[in-house]
Amino acid sequence: MKRLSLSFFLLVSTLSAQQLTGVVLEKSDDGTFRPLIGASAYWLGTATGTVTDTNGVFRLPLNDTGGRLVVSYIGYRADTVTIADQRKVNIILKSDATALAEVEVVGETQSTYVSYLAPQKMLVMTERELFKAACCNLSESFETNPSIDVSFTDAITGTKQIEMLGLAGTYSQITVENLPAIRGLTSTAGLTYIPGTWIESIQVSKGVGSVANGYESITGQINVELRKPMEEEERQFFLNLFGNQDRRFEGNLNVRTPLSHDLSSMTMLHASGQNLGVDRNGDRFLDMPLYSTLNAVQRFHFTDHTGLEGQFGVQFVEEKKEGGTRNGVKLSAAQLSAAPAEYAFTMEGRQLRLWGKTGYVFAGKQYQSVGLQWSYTRNRQSSSFRSHEYAAGEQTGYVNLIYQSIFDNTMHTFRTGVSMLYDEYDETFMHLRYTRTEAVPGVFFEYTYTPGDEFSMVAGVRGDRHNNFGAFLTPRLHVRYTPQEDWVFRAVAGRGQRTANIFAENMAFFASSRTPVVVRTDGVPDFQREPEAAWNTGVNVTHYFLWDYRDATVSADVYYTDFVSQMVADLDTDPHRVIFRALNGRSSSLSVQTELSLQPLERLETRVAYRYLDVRQTIGGMLRERPFVARHRAFLNLAYSTEREDDAEPQMLYDLTVQWFGSKRLPDTQANPLPFRARGHSPAFALANAQVTRSFFAGLDLYLGIENITDFRQDDPIIDAADPGGSYFDSALVWGPVNGRTVYLGMRWRL
C-alpha cells in the first residue's frame, strides 16, 4: 500500500445521479396496509414515469427540473404531490368511500441513517437521535451509537472519553463544520465544550477521511454541524432546561435573529454546574466532581444571493472543576499537606475560538466554486492532582483554500487547494517545561469519478512539510460500488499522521501515585522526536430492504489499523510508573461490526449491533492486548412514538438503549501487595438507559430519563482510597461506570 504511485490517486469523479424509490399502499379500515399493483407514477411535465410492481414499489430518477410527482390508480383520483429531499417515500391511498380522492405522502427520515450516495460510509445522527438521551454535551451524544464507545477516564475527574475502532478518540479527527476543533490540549476535555442542544447533526465516518480536511484522521472523522443562522426559519427560539437527582443543572438558549435580507445571526448560550457532592460507594471520594461551565457562541451568516456567501463565529468557554475527597475539596494546599488522608483535584480551563468561511459559486457554473476556511484557537488550562501539577497554553491557527471544478463534464470533478496548520504549545508538568512550535504548510488534490449510479471513486493525495518531522505524503482512496440498487459496497484505504500530546491526552493517569516517565532518545523526548502514523484499510457492505413496506438496512464492516509509529503509555512494566515511550514493535487494531436497523412494527425503530475488537500493542517487549478495551460488545436501541395526526396533537416518545460489554484486560499490578492489586480482567457487564418524552403543541417537550437503570457500578474504582498520599493509590484503572443510577428531568421549548 505504501508503494501506491501518485498517479493512481490522480483519478477523477462526478456527482452521482439520484433515484427516488416509492411504495404505493392502500390503507384499509382495520389499519393494515396492502400494496397497490400497477399504480402510475410520473414527473409532472415530463415523459418520465413508471408503474408499481407486485410489491407496490416504483423507482424513478430524481427530476432535475422540479419535484412534482403525479400518482394515479384506477378508482382513485389522480393527485399531484411535491417531493422534497427524500430518496424514499411511502404513498398511501385511502380506500374507504369517503376518502377515495385523498392522497397522503409520507417521507420520514430515520433518526440515524447511512448516507446512500457517499463514497465513504457516513453515519448521520440527526436531532431526533440526539434527543433520545440527555445529550448534555458531545461526549454524551454517542450513548445510542454502536460504533463509538463512551467511558470514564478515571474515578476522580469525571472526564468522559470516546473510542472508535478500539482506539482512543484522539486518533479520530473531530471537526466542527469541517474545521479542526477538538485536538491538542482539548483532545479529551474539549468534548464538553460542545453542548448537545447546539448540534444540528453529527456525521460519523470510519476510516481515513478526505485529504481536503487534513492529514490527522486515522480511525475516522466525526464532523459536528452546529445550528445555523440561515436554516432556522421555523425555530427562532430554542430553550432547554435540564436537571438530575445529583443537582446537576444545565440551561441552553439558542436565538436566531435575521438582521437583514442578506445577514442573519445565531446566539447560543450554555450554563451548567453541579454543587452537590455525592459518594454512593462510601470511599470518601466524590463520584463526580463539582463543576461550573459557561459557554457562548455568536455566529453570523451573509449572502449576496448571486453566489457569494460566508460566515463568521466566535466562541468563549470557561470551566472549573473540583474533586477528590469530601473534605479535601474544602482544604487549602497547606491544609492538604497536613492531612495525608485527604485528596483534592482542581482544574480550570478557558478557550477562545474564532472561525470563518467564505465561498463563491461561479455564475452559471454550479460545479465550480472557491472557498476559504480559517480558524484561530487559544486555550489555557491548569490542573492539580495533589502531587502532580500541570499547566499549559496553546495557540492554533488554520487556513484552508479550496478550489472545486470539473474535467470536461460532471462525471469528473476535483478539489484542490493549499492549507496551513500552526500550533504553539507551552506546557509545564511537575516543574519541567515543554515547549514546541509546529508549522505545517500543505497542498492537496482530490479527484472524484462517477460514471453512473453503480460506481464512484474518490482518490486524493496531499503533501505536507512539518517543520520538525520533515515532508510526508498522505494518500487516500474511497470506492463505492452498487451492483444492485439495494446493495452498496464500499472500501477505504489511506494513511494518517498526528503529533501526540502525552500530557493532555493522558491526564487520567495523573490522578494516581504513578510517577510519569518521559523516555528520551538523543536527549529529545520521544513524543517530540517523531509523529504518530498509521495505515487504515476497511470494507463495508450495506443492504437496503423493506420490512412490511418500511425501510430497513443491514450492514457489516471490517477495518484494520496498522501503526508505523506510535506513542505508548506503558502501565504494565511498573505499577508505580506510567512510561511514555515510542513504539518498539507492532501495534494494530482489527474491528468487525454488524448492524441491523428496521421497524418491526409501525413507529417502532429497532437497532441491533454486535462488534468484535482485537487491539494489540507492544508493551515492554511483549505484544499484548491494549488495556481497557472490550473484545465483544452488543447493542440494542428501541424507539417508539405514538401516532400524531397533526402538530397540535400531543405525542409520546419512548427510548431504551441496552449495551453489553465483554471482559477488558487491565494493566498489570501483580508487583503490588495483594490488597492493592487490581484484577487481571474486568467482568462483563450491561448498561441500560431509558427516556420518555411528552411532545406537546407549540413546540414544548418534557422528558424524563434514567441512566444506568440497574445501578451497576465498578466496585473498586480507586485502589487504596484510604491513603491517597501512599505509593499504591490509583484511580485510573477504571473499566466501568463510577456513578450509579441517575434520574433526570428536562424540557425543550421551540418557537
* Confidence category of residue 99, pLDDT binned at 50, 70, 90: very low
Same domain for 711 and 576: yes
Same domain for 476 and 378: yes
Same domain for 152 and 203: yes
Copy the grid coordinates of residue 168.
482512543
| Average pLDDT score over residue span 68-96 | 66
Q: Is 330 helix (H, G, I), strand (E, B) or coil?
A: helix
Kindly write down the DSSP assignment for every residue of 293-328, as one continuous string.
EEEEEEEEEEE-SSSEEEEEEEEEEEEEEEEEBTTG
Same domain for 513 and 454: yes
Task: Kindly report the backbone phi and psi dihedral angles of residue 354, in degrees, each rounded to the nearest multiple of 5, phi listed first.
Answer: -120, 145
CB 543 within 8 A of CB 591: no
Same domain for 212 and 83: no
Out of 19-28, 121-130, 507-516, least confident range: 19-28
Same domain for 213 and 196: yes
pLDDT for residue 35:
74
Same domain for 81 and 120: no
Task: Kindly report the backbone phi and psi dihedral angles of residue 456, in degrees, each rounded to the nearest multiple of 5, phi listed first.
Answer: -155, 150
Q: Cα 259 from chain centroid?
A: 32
Same domain for 162 and 96: no
N-to-C CA span, the chain: 53
Query: What Rg value do the Cα atoms of the chain yield, rounded?
Result: 27
CB 611 within 8 A of CB 649: no
pLDDT for residue 34:
67
Same domain for 205 and 93: no
Between CA 38 and CA 41 the distance in angstroms is 9
* Confidence category of residue 29, pLDDT binned at 50, 70, 90: low
pLDDT for residue 676:
95
Whichever domain contains 462, its CATH number is 2.40.170.20
Average pLDDT of the chain to the nearest whole number: 88
| Average pLDDT score over residue span 44-62 | 74
* Confidence category of residue 261, pLDDT binned at 50, 70, 90: confident
| Average pLDDT score over residue span 578-605 | 95
Q: Is residue 340 part of a domain?
A: yes
Q: Is the pLDDT of residue 640 over 90?
A: yes
Cell numbers 451509537 correspond to what residue?
145
- Give the end of a domain, one of 106, 131, 150: 106
* Confidence category of residue 270, pLDDT binned at 50, 70, 90: very high
> What kind and span of H or E run contains 502?
helix 502-505
Q: Is residue 11 part of a domain?
A: no
Cell numbers 463563491 correspond to what residue?
360
Q: Is 477 helix (H, G, I), strand (E, B) or coil?
A: strand
Q: The domain containing residue 79 runs over which residues?
A: 17-106
- Give the end of a domain, one of 74, 106, 138: 106
How many Cα neighbours within 13 Å face the side chain of 526? 18
pLDDT for residue 102:
44
* Confidence category of residue 73, pLDDT binned at 50, 70, 90: confident
Out of 526-540, 634-648, 664-678, 730-744, least confident range: 634-648
Between CA 110 and CA 132 the distance in angstroms is 13
Q: Is residue 318 part of a domain?
A: yes
Q: Is residue 339 part of a domain?
A: yes
Cell numbers 454543587 correspond to what residue?
275
Between CA 190 and CA 181 the distance in angstroms is 8
Q: Is residue 4 part of a domain?
A: no
Q: Is residue 6 part of a domain?
A: no
Copy the grid coordinates of residue 333.
494546599
Residue-wise pLDDT tens digits, 146-159: 999 999 999 999 99
Q: Is the pLDDT of residue 311 over 60?
A: yes
**Considering only CA atoms, which of 501, 602, 510 is closest in space to residue 550?**
602
Most confident region among 13-22, 23-32, 54-63, 539-548 by mean pLDDT: 539-548
* Confidence category of residue 164, pLDDT binned at 50, 70, 90: very high
Out of 444-448, 556-560, 599-603, least confident range: 599-603
Q: Cα 94 from chain centroid?
A: 41
Q: Is the pLDDT of residue 563 over 80?
A: yes
CB 458 within 8 A of CB 15: no
Q: Is 510 helix (H, G, I), strand (E, B) or coil?
A: helix
Whichever domain contains 193, its CATH number is 2.170.130.10
Q: Is residue 261 part of a domain?
A: yes
Cell numbers 400497477 correspond to what residue?
38
Between CA 294 and CA 544 the distance in angstroms is 44
Copy the grid coordinates of residue 92.
398511501
Q: Is residue 8 part of a domain?
A: no
Copy the grid coordinates of residue 733.
484503572
Same domain for 247 and 208: no
Residues 111-145, buried b or exposed e (16+ Cβ, 10 A)? bbbbbbbbbbbbbbbbebbbbbbbbbbbbbbbbbb
pLDDT for residue 307:
84
Percent of the chain at pLDDT exceeding 70: 90
CB 394 within 8 A of CB 185: yes
Which is higher by pLDDT, 58 or 350? 350
Please, what is the Cα angle at 174 between 351 and 559, to 5 degrees? 155
The residue type of 228 is: K
Q: How many domains does the chain have?
A: 3
Residue-wise pLDDT tens digits, 439-489: 999 999 999 998 887 899 999 999 999 999 999 999 999 999 999 888 999
pLDDT for residue 333:
77
Residues 483-518, buried b or exposed e (16+ Cβ, 10 A)? eeeeebebbbbbbbbbbbbbbbbbbbbbbbbbebeb
CB 429 within 8 A of CB 440: no
> What kind and span of H or E run contains 33?
strand 33-35
CB 89 within 8 A of CB 104: no
pTM of the shown model = 0.85
Q: Is the pLDDT of residue 235 over 90?
A: no
408 φψ region: left (φ > 0), alpha (ψ -120 to 50), beta (else): left
Q: Is the pLDDT of residue 734 over 80?
A: yes
Kindly write down the DSSP assignment for every residue of 668-734, as one continuous string.
--TTS-GGGPPPSBPPPEEEEEEEEEEE-STTEEEEEEEESTT----S-SSBTTT-TTSTT-B----
| Average pLDDT score over residue span 519-548 | 91
Determine the number of helices (DSSP H) and then strands (DSSP E) in the chain: 4, 46
Q: Is the pLDDT of residue 363 over 90?
A: no
Copy the grid coordinates of residue 193.
465544550
* Confidence category of residue 288, pLDDT binned at 50, 70, 90: very high
Copy the grid coordinates of residue 89.
417515500
- Give the end of a domain, one of 198, 226, 254: 226
Copy the grid coordinates of residue 109.
427520515
The residue type of 572 is: D
pLDDT for residue 344:
93
* Confidence category of residue 107, pLDDT binned at 50, 70, 90: very low
327, 333, 334, 340 alpha-carbon torsion, rounded to 10°: 50
CB 122 within 8 A of CB 204: yes
Q: Is the pLDDT of residue 697 over 90?
A: no
pLDDT for residue 567:
95
Same domain for 722 and 620: yes
Same domain for 712 and 635: yes
Between CA 259 and CA 330 the distance in angstroms is 48
pLDDT for residue 526:
86
